[in-house]
Structures are given as structure tokens and as C-alpha cells.
Amino acid sequence: MRIADMNWMQVERYLERDDRCVLPIGSTEQHAQLSLCVDAILAERVAVEAAEPLGVPVYPAVPFGVAPYFQAFPGSVSLRVETLLAVVRDLLASMRRSGFRRVLMVNGHGGNAPVGALAQELMCEWPEMCVRLHNWWNAPATWAAVSAVDPVGSHGSWMENFPWTRLASAPAPEGVKPMVDMAALRAGSPERVRALVGDGNFGGAWAKSDEEMARVWAAGVAETREALEGPWPNQS
């Protein structure tokens, strides 16, 4: 359930029987013709659909992440690594104060990887806490579902093109885009990145059928739910 649909008294009663919650983390950055908020949209939605049958509250997605390489694309924003870590640390500290002890961070953006190290650090400080990082899009079963549709998929390509990340005003191009030179991409300035990737798709088809995307999505929801169900190391 979305914590936006709860009041503090309901959270207090929930914590009498369970101590899990979910924190989605995304980014606001270019995704070719798709929404700039793809990573936040997907992280929150997969978390909500995974948690709903379990009755576990899901916080609103953190909409900003670490994406300095996309700064030449208008609308994209980036946090410093230390800023993201400070924000997530404060959020987890507040959740701990409320009484949550098991937190699943559902991450939708590769640039946010440092929060995994932060989780390990915090569990040294707070041994009663268990904080997991779940990169929903490339977890094993979900990535297998992606590969079964098409082994070539990347940032801004078909694998992020769901009905809820599309814009009616910007239909997907047809065809398949050659993969960008990833080594050159990683070594480039934001301006060089924009020159290399053009519209923003790193490579692969821009779109697949809704039926194929539904299979990928079902795998992502199921795998995220499994991560939330546990077992958790500190589960009683």
C-alpha cells in the first residue's frame, strides 16, 4: 500500500504487527522519447504492486538520483553522490525512529548504486536494522525475462518503454538502434555523451509489444515481492 494512503495512527497500528517498509529510489533524467521520470515511475510502481498483497507500506519514490552524465540533456537533474547518501541516510534514520526495522530500497537507476554501500554502513551503526537494496530491473529473474524478449536492450530503449512511461505526444521511433560505444560513453563529458547517444537510447529497439512488456513487468513485480517477503536476516 502507498503510505500516502495512510495516516500516522494507521502506521502506528501496522508497526504493532510488522516492521517492513519500502523506499523506492529513482532519477529524473533523459530517456529518449519516454518520460524524464521513468526511473522514479517504475521504481515506485513495481514496489507498490509487489507490496500490495502483503500490506506493506511503500513510501513515495525519491525522484532524484546521481546522473551527471546526462546534464547536457535539458530537464535532467543530478544529485552529488554525497547528497543522495545524506538524503537516504536521513530517510532511513526517520524510518528507524518510527519503528521500521526491515527496509527494502527498490532502486530504479544504476547511478544510485552507492546507496548499497550506505546500507551496509548503517547496519553496522544500527544492528537491529536490515536494509536491502533491490535493483528491480536487473535482478536475475527480471533480467532473464528481458533477455527472453530481446537480448539487446539498454537505457532509453524498449526495456523501459511501458504504457506508464510513454508520452502520448512522443511516439516511439520504429526500428532498432545500434549500441553506443559504452567505453567512450563512460569516459565522456555530458556534452560528449549527448553527441554519442543522440536521442538518448543507448541501443536496441525503441519499443516492443504490450504483451512482451507485460511479461517483463510480471517478472519484476514477482521478484520484488520475493525480496520483500524474505527471509530477512533479522526476521523473528
pLDDT-based confidence at 120, cuts 50/70/90? very high
Structural domain includes residue 221:
yes
pLDDT at 178: 96
Q: How many structural domains are present in the chain?
A: 1
Please indicate, yes or no, if residue 117 is contained in any of the structural domains. Answer: yes
What pLDDT, in 10s, does the model give residues 148-204? 999 999 999 999 999 999 999 999 999 999 999 999 999 999 999 999 999 999 999
The verdict on residue 38 lying in a domain is yes
Q: Render pLDDT for 36-72 as a digit per residue (tens, 0 to 9).
A: 999 999 999 999 999 999 999 999 999 999 999 999 9
Query: C-alpha distances in angstroms, 58 versus 2, 50, 63, 204?
Result: 5, 10, 14, 32
Percent of the chain, pLDDT > 70? 99
Q: What is the CATH number of the domain that holds 130?
A: 3.40.50.10310
In a domain, 185, yes or no: no
Grid cell, residue 189, equals 563529458
The whole-model pTM stands at 0.96
Is 197 part of a structural domain of the chain?
A: no
Task: For residue 87, tell me if it sits in a domain.
Answer: yes
Q: Is pLDDT at 92 greater than 90 in this prediction? A: yes
On whether residue 191 sits in a domain, the answer given is no
Q: Round to whole Å and give the CA distance between 214 and 234.
A: 34
Q: Which domain holds residue 221?
A: 3-147+212-229
User: Contact, 68 vs 29, CB < 8 A?
Assistant: no
pLDDT at residue 234 greater than cutoff 90: no
Residue 207 in any domain: the answer is no
